[in-house]
Structure 1
Amino acid sequence: MRRRRAVVVGAGIGGLTAAVALHRRGWQVTVCERASDPPITGAGIGLAPNALRALRAIDVDVTRTTGSAVPLMMGVRRSDGRWLTRTSTADLAARYGTPPIAVPRPALTVALAAALPAEALRYGTAVTAVDDAGGRPVLRTETGPDLPADLVVAADGIHSPLRRAHFPAHPGLRYLGETAWRALVEAPDLRVQAMSETWGRGERFGVTPLSDGRFYLYATAAVPAGAPAGDPRAELRRRFGSWHDPIPALLERVGRLAVADVLRHDLYELAAPLPRLHHGRIAWLGDAAHAMAPNLGQGGCQAVEDAVVLAHLLPAGDGDDDADAVPAALAAYTAARRDRTDAVRVRARRVGRLGALRHPLAAAARDLAVRATPDRLAVRGMDDLFDGFRLPARPGT
């Protein structure tokens, strides 16, 4: 009996999760990644309860590799340090079954890659095109022979060449009006036990304790797209050095990093939802399918959900050869994921607009409204995100 073969384009979090999920469904999996090596640097990634539940559905416990330290609380503050809203992670664990955690992105990549056969991973392999005119896709690469497949998973990132090739009429990306900086620092002496985001006027600063004891720092500011970039360490000190503790002390640690260790990116989202998340036997997931603002911490979480739902809906890799089974599963995948991911994309943009308010009166009104909202209602407002992951019924059941 011939095993079905999937080729995953992109070895990011979504692509590797899809590869693991498909491998565990009996598929023969090949992951093609343009980069020559696995990432050894990078920032952090938050795994909310919905993503952790999805990973458990494919029997992946990332904490075995990444650690599982959890901050005591999470919330939003003003630039003078006053809390606008905060919630204990114990309350979140009680409500959702598990607290959110944050892990170093390279460690999560290692954990997922370790669940695959070594021969499944092909670094330094750029996919240049997918020819699906004959009913079964054939992938063209820069460095090797063509790869025939029963399924292609397009996890090729926010600038997805496969998305542009197969949805040429789509408007593509839209600049969100903000630039972001990200860095990892060591600061065990500061004993920061809260995951927080601080809102100023047109600027934000996030502090996230990671599972390995380091801190993931991120900041955003309203900056024109493509604005000249100076030393990011100096710019962060200039913008946020007078904000509440422990931000100045954390920025002092940032100052010890190499310039290359402080990541700076303009923020974009997909300007409109894709008409569908599949084309023929190609399925899109993660940023390639629904690039969104990072404001809810759900970009990577939704990619994980995509990957697990996609593999769940597809037929087993060693089942009977049914020519209609894969296309039917991909149609079900679009039906299961398109509306949910687009709702998260829209919500993330709206939250970002609140955090980026610059007018003093508008920012003050925002802060007052957030402070006036009871913490229990703020937590309840996360139910559709944190408790929204479900495995849909498979086609024909």
Structure 2
Amino acid sequence: MGSSAVVVGGGIGGLAAALGLRRIGWEVTVVERAAVLDDAGAGISLHANGLRALDVLGVGEAVRDAARPQYTGGTRTPRGARLAAMDGAALERVLGTPIVGIPRATLHRLLRDALPPESLVIGTEVTAVDRSAPGRVRVPLGDTVLDADLVVAADGVNSRMRTLLFPSHPGPSYSGSTVLRAVTEHPVDAGTDFELTWGPGAEFGHIAFDDGRAEWHAVLNSPAGVRYPDPPAEMRRRFAGWHDPIPALLDATRPEAVLHHDIYELVAALPTYTVGRVALLGDAAHAMTPNLGQGACQALEDAAVLAAALAGEATVEAALARYDTQRRPRSQSVARAARQAGRMGQQLTNPLAIGLRNTALRLAPSGMTVRAILRHADWTPPLPELPSSPESHGA
């Protein structure tokens, strides 16, 4: 079994993979192309499966301490009528935890702080891998070459590594939706812990944070590439007349704080997540739409499963085969479900279809929302359990 790895990409999935590998005693180098780690991002909700993966990786308690549980909220119409309620307490009774909300920057920092600083190489992009040597992978980095037993490709939806490994794959597809998001400059009374509001071809949602601030996001049906000179002003126009606290959230936002990204996904599923001694992870393997809030959670699952497979198998090859077998069917199923959720939620524009959907949600039994979340969130990390600390393996 090997003992050294290069992780390409220093986002949530890459950092989580590095934590998992270190906990089984591997030496890890994370290579991130960004020259400055500014921890850009808005907010994120973590379901029980993501939190359980973080527990396995050793940072679950720290993340929970920095997060706000989501007990109240649900889905509304633009005028504020309730379509479905979220019962965080019921989820906690079943899963042992509610969903939690946390700034992405905080999550990034907690993951990064759990790694030794010398393991992170920033401002460097991996443009090639050499898989010609038996049992080794070489990663050129300028004048140096990293020689490793394993490379983890966690370089995002536009993964260069995926293109290198699957040159005939069509790559990510535009979903038809674009998202604007930001964190308010100061605390705002958001009313609930988490909320989604669905209008024709549009969604507005918020996540309340522990410090009183809130993240908001607006998802719109839109051609790719459309941008606005004053995003909050455009959002005030687009969501004029929508219920509180939407106006207050937008008024508490600086224009320069708004992030705007078109949503891309991997519609053409990969035939495998491993090629030789290279494993794809997170968005590089299964980029999905955000409609189920499962993108980051699936990446965290990937990291936990990869580490467990490497700890439990005699060879890297056997471990990667196990990783692919366990992760590809589940993550691709979640990606398909997220795509369908978007089509039946935010992307709907036909008034009749919207009316039928809203009626179905209002008439659904109270436990239906909990069961829908459980379908993807009730995941148990694989055995064997990882060591409690890297030191237990001499890392």
Which band: TM-score by shorter chain?
A: over 0.9
Q: Secondary structure at the match of 1:128?
A: coil
Between 123-132 and 27-36, report the one with greater CA deviation: 123-132
Is the 2:13–2:282 contact (alpha carbons within 8 Å) kept by the matching residues of 1?
yes
Give 1:366-377 correspondences, 5 Å limit.
Answer: 366-377=357-368
Between 37-46 and 301-310, report the one with greater CA deviation: 37-46
**Is 2:71 aligned against 1:72?**
yes
Q: Secondary structure at the match of 1:349?
A: helix
**Is 2:291 aligned against 1:299?**
no
> Cα deviations across residues 50-79 of structure 1 (Å, max 9, x unaligned)?
100111112213536861322331311111
Structure 1 residue 230 displacement after superposition: 3.2
For 2:231 and 2:273, locate their aligned partners in 1 and report how far apart those are by CA, in whole Å. Answer: 36
Match in the other structure for 2:125: 126
> What percent of counterpart residues are identical?
46
Q: How many residues align?
A: 383
Equivalent residue for 2:330, pick from 329, 337, 340: 340
Q: Secondary structure at the match of 2:177?
A: strand
Is the 1:11–1:33 contact (alpha carbons within 8 Å) kept by the matching residues of 2?
yes
**Is 2:357 aligned against 1:361?**
no
Match in the other structure for 2:245: 246
For 1:218 and 1:191, locate their aligned partners in 2 and report how far apart those are by CA, in whole Å. Answer: 13
Structure 1 residue 238 displacement after superposition: 1.0
Between 128-137 and 340-349, report the one with greater CA deviation: 128-137
Between 263-272 and 224-233, report the one with greater CA deviation: 224-233
Equivalent residue for 2:318, pick from 328, 343, 347: 328
Is the 1:151–1:281 contact (alpha carbons within 8 Å) kept by the matching residues of 2?
yes
> Cα deviations across residues 277-300 of structure 1 (Å, max 9, x unaligned)?
000000001000000000011000
1:84 aligned partner, one-letter code = L
Match in the other structure for 2:54: 55
Change (3 A) 1:144 1:119: farther
Q: Secondary structure at the match of 2:115?
A: coil
Q: Secondary structure at the match of 2:218?
A: strand
Match in the other structure for 1:272: 268
Match in the other structure for 1:30: 29
Match in the other structure for 1:145: 144
Match in the other structure for 2:392: none
For 1:127 and 1:289, locate their aligned partners in 2 and report how far apart those are by CA, in whole Å. Answer: 17
1:283 aligned partner, one-letter code = A
Equivalent residue for 2:306, pick from 303, 310, 317: 310
Q: Secondary structure at the match of 1:85?
A: strand
Structure 1 residue 264 displacement after superposition: 0.7
Structure 1 residue 187 displacement after superposition: 4.8
> Cα deviations across residues 231-289 of structure 1 (Å, max 9, x unaligned)?
212221111132001111111112xx143x10111111102211100000000010000
Q: Secondary structure at the match of 2:367?
A: helix
- Give the RMSD, CA atoms, in angstroms: 1.9
For 2:212 and 2:268, locate their aligned partners in 1 and report how far apart those are by CA, in whole Å. Answer: 38
Q: Secondary structure at the match of 2:260?
A: strand
Match in the other structure for 2:45: 46
1:300 aligned partner, one-letter code = A
For 2:340 and 2:380, locate their aligned partners in 1 and report how far apart those are by CA, in whole Å. Answer: 22
2:381 aligned partner, one-letter code = R
Match in the other structure for 1:193: 192
Match in the other structure for 1:390: 381
For 1:162 and 1:345, locate their aligned partners in 2 and report how far apart those are by CA, in whole Å. Answer: 20
For 1:189 and 1:4, locate their aligned partners in 2 and report how far apart those are by CA, in whole Å. Answer: 48
Listed as ranges, the gaps of 5+ residues in structure 1 are 317-321
Structure 1 residue 189 displacement after superposition: 4.7
For 2:326 and 2:147, locate their aligned partners in 1 and report how far apart those are by CA, in whole Å. Answer: 27
Q: Secondary structure at the match of 1:274?
A: coil
Between 14-23 and 167-176, report the one with greater CA deviation: 167-176
TM-score normalised to structure 1 length: 0.92
Is the 1:73–1:194 contact (alpha carbons within 8 Å) kept by the matching residues of 2?
yes
Change (3 A) 1:341 1:247: same
Q: Secondary structure at the match of 1:305?
A: helix
For 1:247 and 1:64, locate their aligned partners in 2 and report how far apart those are by CA, in whole Å. Answer: 27
Q: Secondary structure at the match of 2:244?
A: coil
Structure 1 residue 186 displacement after superposition: 4.1
Is the 1:315–1:325 contact (alpha carbons within 8 Å) kept by the matching residues of 2?
no
Is the 2:232–2:251 contact (alpha carbons within 8 Å) kept by the matching residues of 1?
no
1:325 aligned partner, one-letter code = T
1:327 aligned partner, one-letter code = E
Q: Secondary structure at the match of 2:379?
A: coil
Between 184-193 and 52-61, report the one with greater CA deviation: 184-193
Structure 1 residue 361 displacement after superposition: 1.4
Structure 1 residue 133 displacement after superposition: 1.7
